[in-house]
């Protein structure tokens, strides 16, 4: 931990997470709020929210930020993703905590700025996540778990350094995964899948009703994706000692796929 703390590159990565998260939240939630603004003369629009527009805004903003700061911080921009990468033994515990703090702070700052920009909007919820009518807490939790699971699984698979078959854009693939999660979950929970994003809106709007769902769901989904990918789908050879080194000191090496010899190793090739 001490070695990471003293490195400028570490703090640049933390700042990158904060800045990218702020831009992501401002752009994506801003697009979700915009449908309520008057669009014809001075008359208030009664249009319903365009889920496709909002989903694309979230997905494209994540893809853009990932392309912009991915080489600096890895562009987690989501505590659930950070947790998944921690359990996948790719970052230290200290870095994970600092990333989550930066992400939450970025979400709060962006939502506060957005609150000022949209202060004239009646009934402004600031993108607050909430259960839809007819959806109970258990159902909402299930939606959040599944939507986050597919996102973290996509992140782990597309950024796996052991693969040589990924020829497309990893940021775009992750962005599409975020958009997919929103297309699924907006009508049920408003789509959290990102505890920091949910926390920013809840704090500025001062409304924490059912807020636990938007932490517990993504945490379970992200952790499940990491464990299933790392121990079932594409197992690593790392033992507890190796993992402890990474968790305390940061990434030290990329572990090989599990296998006794070259012939028994899992090969990731196009079908």
**pTM for the structure as a whole:** 0.85
The radius of gyration of the chain from alpha carbons, rounded to an integer in Å, stands at 19
Strand partners, 43: 40
Mean pLDDT, residues 66-86 taken together: 94
User: What domains lie within the chain, and their CATH numbers?
Assistant: 4-35+50-118+126-240 (1.20.1080.10)
Percent of the chain that is helix, strand, coil (3-state, to 5): 65, 0, 35
Question: What is d(CA 156, CA 88) in angstroms, rounded to the nearest whole number?
Answer: 8
What is the per-residue pLDDT across 179-191, written as a single tens digit (0 to 9) for each? 999 999 999 999 9
> For residues 134 and 213, is the Cβ–Cβ distance under 8 A?
no
What is the per-residue pLDDT across 32-56, written as a single tens digit (0 to 9) for each? 887 655 544 444 444 456 889 999 9
227: confidence class by pLDDT, cuts 50, 70, 90: very high
| Distance of alpha carbon 132 from the chain centroid | 22
| Distance of alpha carbon 235 from the chain centroid | 23
Looking at residue 266, its pLDDT comes to 35
What is the per-residue pLDDT across 9-25, written as a single tens digit (0 to 9) for each? 989 999 999 999 999 99
């Amino acid at each position: 931990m001490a070695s990471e703390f003293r490195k400028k590159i570490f703090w640049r990565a933390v700042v990158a997470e904060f800045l990218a998260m702020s831009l992501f939240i401002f752009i994506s939630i801003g697009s979700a709020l915009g449908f309520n603004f008057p669009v014809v003369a001075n008359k208030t629009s009664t249009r319903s929210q365009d889920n496709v527009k909002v989903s694309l805004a979230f997905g494209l903003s994540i893809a853009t930020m990932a392309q912009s700061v991915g080489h600096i911080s890895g562009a987690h921009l989501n505590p659930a993703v950070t947790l998944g990468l921690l359990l996948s033994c790719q970052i230290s515990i200290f870095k994970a905590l600092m990333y989550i703090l930066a992400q939450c702070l970025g979400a709060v700052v962006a939502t506060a700025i957005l609150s000022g920009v949209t202060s004239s909007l009646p009934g402004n919820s600031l993108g607050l996540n909430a259960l839809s009518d007819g959806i109970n807490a258990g159902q909402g939790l299930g939606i959040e778990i599944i939507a986050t699971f597919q996102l973290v699984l996509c992140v782990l698979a597309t950024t796996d350094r052991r693969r040589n078959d990924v020829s497309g854009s990893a940021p775009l693939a992750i962005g599409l995964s975020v958009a997919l999660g929103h297309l699924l979950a907006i009508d049920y929970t408003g789509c959290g899948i990102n505890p920091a994003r949910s926390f920013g809106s809840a704090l500025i709007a001062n409304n924490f009703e059912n807020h636990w769902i938007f932490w517990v769901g993504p945490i379970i989904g992200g952790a499940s994706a990491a464990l299933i990918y790392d121990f079932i789908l594409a197992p690593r050879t790392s033992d507890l000692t190796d993992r402890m080194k990474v968790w305390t000191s940061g990434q030290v090496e990329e572990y090989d796929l599990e296998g006794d010899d070259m012939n028994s190793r899992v090969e990731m090739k196009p079908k």
